[in-house]
Amino acid sequence: GVGMAGARPPRFLLVFDFDETIVDENSDDSVVRGRALPESLRQSPRGGSYNEHMRRVLGWLGEQGVRPADFRAVYENIPLSPGMAELFQFLSKHHELFELVLLSDANTFGIEAKLRAAGARSLFRKIFSNPASIDRRGFLTLGPYHSHQCPQCPANMCKRKILSEYLQERAREDAEFQRVFYVGDGANDFCPAGILTAADVAFPRKGYPMHRLIQEAQEKQPGAFQAAVVPWESATEVARYLQELLRRKC
C-alpha cells in the first residue's frame, strides 16, 4: 500500500541500557539503600552469579516485609540521568523514525515501573531484562534472562547475543535499519557495541566503563571498533546528534 500511514517501518534502531544510562543510579543499589543487609548478602559474589545474589537479596527484603508496592515506589523515584527526559521527548516527537529496545541486567519489574512513571514505556518496542515477578508470598522474585557461550559476559545475560538475535528477527520481518545507535555505560554494553558497523553510533556515557573499554580497544587496534563513538554527559547530546542527523536527511 503506497502512502499508507505507518507502512514505512522505522529507519533507525536505538538500543538503550537502563542502570546508569536511562536512570542515574544502579537500581540494584537503590533497592537496598538504607537497609542493613546481613553479612552474607553484603558483598556481591566474587566468583558466583550476580543475578543469583540479587535473587537472594530480593528474597531477604521480602522477608523483612518489603512489598511489591514498596519496590515499585523505589524504582519510580530513581532519578533519570541528565538530559534523558529531553531525549525521550525528542524520540516521542519522531517515533515513526526510531525503533527503541532496552537491554538491561536489572529486572523487568523495576524497568517497567520506572518507564511508566516517566511516561516513556510506550516508546519501547521491546524490553530485554531478567524476568521478575511477584510470587504467592508477595515477594519479588528474580530469574536469569538466558544462557549463552560468551566468555566476557555474566552467566545470565550476553547483550551481544540478544542484539544479534533481535537484528536477525527484525530482518526476517523486513525491518531494515539504516543505522543502529547504542546508548549505554557499562562493561556489558561494550560487548554488544562490538557488532555495530561503521554506519552505526555508540553513545557511551563519558568516563564510564563502556567508554574506557572502547578507548582501550581503539588504542590496542585502531579500526577494530567500527562504530562512530559519541560520548555523552547529558542525554541532550544524544538528542542533538540525532536531530542533526535528521536535518542532514541521514
Distance CA 176, CA 174 (A): 6
Look at the block and give the residue holding cell 566503563.
209
DSSP-assigned letters across all residues of 129-173: E--EEE-TTS-EEE--------SSS-TT--HHHHHHHHHHHHHHT
135 is catalytic: no
Q: Report the residue count for the chain.
A: 250
Q: Which of 17, 24, 70, 200 is catalytic?
A: 17
C-alpha cell at 188: 556489558
Give 237: exposed, middle or buried? Use CB within 10 Å, 0-12, 13-18, 19+: middle
Q: Identify the three-state secondary structure at position 82.
A: coil
C-alpha cell at 148: 549463552
105 assigned to a ligand binding site? yes
185 assigned to a ligand binding site? yes
**Strand runs (DSSP E) across the chain, as ranges?**
12-16, 98-104, 124-129, 132-134, 140-142, 179-184, 201-204, 228-229
Name the nearest CA neighbour of 180 among 27, 13, 1, 54.
Answer: 13
19 assigned to a ligand binding site? yes
10 close to 96: Cβ distance less than 8 angstroms:
yes
17 is catalytic: yes
Distance CA 170, CA 178 (A): 13
- Which amino acids are annotated as binding site for Mg(2+), given as ranges? 17, 19, 185
- Which amino acids are annotated as binding site for substrate, given as ranges? 28, 105
Residues tagged active-site: 17, 19
